[in-house]
A and B are shown apart, each in its own frame.
Chain A
Amino acid sequence: MELDSLYQEVILDHYRTPLNKGLSSEKDIQVHHNNPSCGDEVTLNLTMKDGFVKQITWDGVGCSISMASTSVMSDLLSGKEYQQAMKVLEAFVELMQSKGQSKGDEELLEDGVAFAGVSKFPARIKCALLGWMAFKDASTQVMA
């Protein structure tokens, strides 16, 4: 059914067992993002080193989509060079805006392609982007 295109098993797995959840004691910056329409919240700690994303940890409350997406993001972008991380982020944003027309670049997005179905549900796109936007905000501030 249509619902299964939204809730891929990968998403439910990340929701039940999120990666990098729990805020690190060390960080370059901490940002807090929320989604006022549904109340979802993410706090993200970011450490950068020599132009690379060294560590992303986070905590938050929210729906399966927002929490799983933040989990995938934290796993995917950790260890990446800043420009490469931004490239992945842009690819994810593009996928979310695809209105169900794109499957996503699996080489670039890995588990992130599981969110392709979210783009068919306009009300959920913001959920999927919550953690990613927190990362964008944090990394832009650190790199400035």
Chain B
Amino acid sequence: MSADLSVYKKDFPIFSRSVRGGNPLIYLDSGATSQKPEVVIQAEADFYRTKNAAVHRGAHLLAEEASDAYESARENVARFIGAASSEVIFTKSATESLNFLATSFGNPDSGIAVKPGDEIVVTEMEHHANLSPWQQLAKRTGAKLTWLSITAGGRLDLSNIDQVINSKTKIVAITHQSNVFGTVVPIDLIVKAARNVGALVVLDACQSVPHFAVNVKQLGVDFLAFSGHKVLGPTGIGVLWGKSELLEKLEPAIFGGSMVDSVTMDGATWAQTPRKFEAGVPNMAQAVGLSAAVDYLTKIGMPNLAQHEHKLTEELLAGFKEMKEVTVVGPLDMKDRGGVVSFTVDGVHPHDVGQVLDQYGIAVRTGHHCAWPLMKKLNLVGTTRASFHLYNSSEDVSSLLKAVEKVTQYFKVSK
């Protein structure tokens, strides 16, 4: 029996508005971005109202309080993922986190630089954000990009893992949970294969950190990235976590104020991590907002949230199973699976599916989900994707199933 989380929906002001057709909002697009509870909106606004000043500069009281709020946010977010606060770098997004990493690995001055002949391993189910930066890094450095394939069932094909992750492999950059399939990747096996050959593991945790308890120490990965806006937090804030001894070896990706130890007209030395990776005045209010978001989620309990989404996913998969026009793209069972369900409706393009659902107030994602190579591999133009979070309910699942039925009627799909 999972905990009743329906009481929390009222914490999200957006659900008080109506959408197209005067319908209440049924938001099933949390895989793209999550909605924000009032406490997060308040925390962000309160920073501007009461503490606003540039952090780590200035001798005045506001600067002190702003710095304190920002560094407390760092400690709090670090605690949320089981990390030390000195290992948590605030970025503007997960995309920026991954790009920073790829840039730093490409700097020959980095103690762990990628060199010609090295191999970088990704998978066929990466989001563009965890693919393009590595493609570019390979291109810049003369390294080779290789990848693990997927199975027909939407899981990672690990049958040739020992060939793909080999003695030339320097970095394995991999998603924790597919944003298309919902598949949760067996990170323990990836870490083991990487350790055997001395490669580093970079985890794209955008779809995992917001939905179940993630502990960087337990995972055993070397770097991890996620975005604040999917964790009920504000936009404009992301996290890059790395093991401190590795962060020490990396050159920063961007340069400027606040990240230096000393500067002359000829050059500069860097501050300690994490500061050396945070050039310029950071997104302070957003960091504080993210901190409020993780407090909120901690209070609810990540295991409760995971259980809640598990139940909704199970209900949706069961409903789709009864509909012959609907094909689920991704795992059909609940083993190692998160609350993201991609599907196609026979004879109806995803964009048209989304349009009809919108008419019933249901917000879903349609298209290639920033995973174009994966869509090509599956021979699909795209899918319709429903993704869950805290504020969703069994009623939302029923509404979706009913509306998909309407889609097939509207486009006169017959099979």
Closest chain-A Cβ to B338's Cβ sits at a distance in Å of 24
Establish whether residues A61 and B410, one from each chain, have CB atoms under 8 Å apart when the complex forms: no
CA distance A127 to B382 in the complex (A): 15
A1-15 residues with Cβ-Cβ distance < 8 A to B are: 1-3, 6-7, 12
Q: List 27 A-B contacts (CB under 8 A).
A: A1-B359, A2-B21, A3-B355, A3-B356, A3-B359, A7-B352, A7-B410, A12-B412, A38-B350, A38-B368, A39-B367, A39-B368, A39-B372, A39-B381, A40-B381, A61-B381, A62-B349, A62-B381, A63-B349, A63-B350, A64-B349, A64-B352, A65-B351, A65-B352, A121-B355, A124-B351, A124-B355
Establish whether residues B351 and A127, one from each chain, have CB atoms under 8 Å apart when the complex forms: yes
A25, CB-defined interface residue at 8 Å = no
B48, CB-defined interface residue at 8 Å = no
- The 8 A CB mask of A52-67 against B (1 = contact, 0 = none) is 0000000001111101
With contact pairs A38-B367, A39-B375 given, residues A2 and B349 touching in the complex (Cβ less than 8 Å): no
CA distance A60 to B293 in the complex (A): 44
Chain A residues engaging chain B, CB cutoff 8 angstroms: 1-3, 6-7, 12, 37-40, 61-65, 67, 121, 124, 127
B34, CB-defined interface residue at 8 Å = no
Establish whether residues B367 and A37, one from each chain, have CB atoms under 8 Å apart when the complex forms: yes
Q: Which residue of chain A has its CB nearest to the CB of B376?
A: A39
- The 8 A CB mask of B324-366 against A (1 = contact, 0 = none) is 0000000000000000000000001111100110010000001
Establish whether residues A63 and B351, one from each chain, have CB atoms under 8 Å apart when the complex forms: yes
Question: In the complex, what residues of A have CB within 8 A of residue B217's CB?
Answer: none
CA distance A61 to B350 in the complex (A): 11
Question: In the complex, what residues of A have CB within 8 A of residue B367's CB?
Answer: 37-39
CA distance A2 to B23 in the complex (A): 12
Question: In the complex, what residues of B have CB within 8 A of residue A3's CB?
Answer: 355-356, 359, 410
- Specify which of B21, B349, B368, B411 is in contact with A12 (CB 8 Å cutoff): B411
Closest chain-A Cβ to B23's Cβ sits at a distance in Å of 11
Closest chain-A Cβ to B213's Cβ sits at a distance in Å of 34
- Specify which of B21, B355, B366, B382 is in contact with A6 (CB 8 Å cutoff): B355
Question: In the complex, what residues of A have CB within 8 A of residue B349's CB?
Answer: 62-64, 67
With contact pairs A7-B410, A12-B411, A63-B352 given, residues A38 and B20 touching in the complex (Cβ less than 8 Å): no
Question: In the complex, what residues of B have CB within 8 A of residue A40's CB?
Answer: 351, 381
Question: In the complex, what residues of A have CB within 8 A of residue B355's CB?
Answer: 3, 6, 121, 124
CA distance A127 to B37 in the complex (A): 34
Closest chain-A Cβ to B344's Cβ sits at a distance in Å of 13
Question: In the complex, what residues of B have CB within 8 A of residue A62's CB?
Answer: 349, 351, 381
- Specify which of A1, A38, A61 is in contact with B21 (CB 8 Å cutoff): A1
Closest chain-A Cβ to B391's Cβ sits at a distance in Å of 24
Establish whether residues A38 and B359, one from each chain, have CB atoms under 8 Å apart when the complex forms: no
CA distance A6 to B375 in the complex (A): 27
Closest chain-A Cβ to B329's Cβ sits at a distance in Å of 14
Q: Which residue of chain B has its CB nearest to the CB of A61?
A: B381
Closest chain-A Cβ to B372's Cβ sits at a distance in Å of 7
Centre residue among A2, A3, A121 by max chain B CB count within 10 A: A3
